[in-house]
């Protein structure tokens, strides 16, 4: 019997930084067997990731936070609907989305955070891990909810913290593994939750898969 390929979902990337996670996702999406394709990239500033996206010929829109988050979210919502986006991936996006926006896209926004949540939400996670005497540190891919760096965890990765490690060394060593984590977590999420027709409860669906956890 001939295998029927899963239809790719339409993905939007929100970014604010260097675009390393965006680049890893874009490479994965080029694989015909990967269940997503990037339809839209939105950046809130003319960062390295924004320039990279334009160079790679993605539909790349600059939507700046001018006076308040409402203006950004209104414009972003219009673009997301216009481009028939199914799922949003935050990839180094440095703005907090409003509860209204998150609820309008409930269970359709993923984020990658540079800590092993629930440890160290917010900024400065590498510095916090060193100051706390942590022996391991890592990254988490999770579903975005109304709270900061909260929501159901899809996957995590971890590295050892060496005695002489500084913030920069941890960041550089962790980055390549979190790039892998985001690709694997997104694929797992699409195949186990996003394509489930009866989405009454994310917690109910969470029982159908194990979190992606690996350590280096």
Q: Which residues are catalytic?
A: 113
The DSSP-derived string for the chain is -PPPPPPPEEEEEEE-S--HHHHHHHHHHTSTTSSEEEEEEEESS--HHHHHHHHTT--EEE----S-HHHHHHHHHHHHHHTT--EEEEES--SPPPHHHHHHTTT-EEEEESS-TTSS-SS-HHHHHHHTT-SEEEEEEEE--SSTT-S-EEEEEEEEPPTT--HHHHHHHHHHHHHHHHHHHHHHHIIIIIT-S--S-HHHHHTTS--EEEE-
């Amino acid at each position: 019997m001939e295998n029927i390929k899963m239809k790719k979902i339409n993905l939007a990337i929100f970014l604010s930084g260097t675009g390393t996670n965006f680049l890893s996702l874009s490479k994965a999406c080029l694989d015909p067997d990967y269940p997503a394709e990037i339809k839209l990239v939105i950046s809130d500033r003319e960062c390295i990731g924004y320039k990279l996206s334009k160079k790679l010929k993605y539909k790349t829109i600059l939507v700046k936070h001018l006076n308040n988050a409402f203006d950004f979210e209104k414009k972003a919502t219009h673009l997301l609907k216009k481009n028939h986006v199914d799922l949003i991936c935050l990839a180094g996006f440095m703005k907090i989305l409003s509860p209204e926006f998150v609820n309008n896209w409930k269970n359709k926004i993923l984020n990658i955070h540079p800590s092993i949540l629930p440890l160290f939400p917010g900024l400065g996670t590498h510095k916090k891990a060193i100051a706390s005497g942590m022996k391991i540190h890592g990254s988490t891919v999770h579903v975005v909810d109304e709270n900061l760096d909260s929501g159901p965890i899809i996957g995590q990765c971890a590295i050892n913290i060496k005695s002489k490690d500084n913030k920069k060394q941890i960041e550089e060593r962790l980055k390549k593994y979190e790039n892998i984590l985001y690709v694997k977590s997104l694929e797992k999420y699409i195949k186990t939750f996003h394509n489930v027709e009866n989405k009454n409860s994310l917690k109910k669906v969470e029982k159908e898969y194990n979190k992606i956890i690996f350590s280096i």
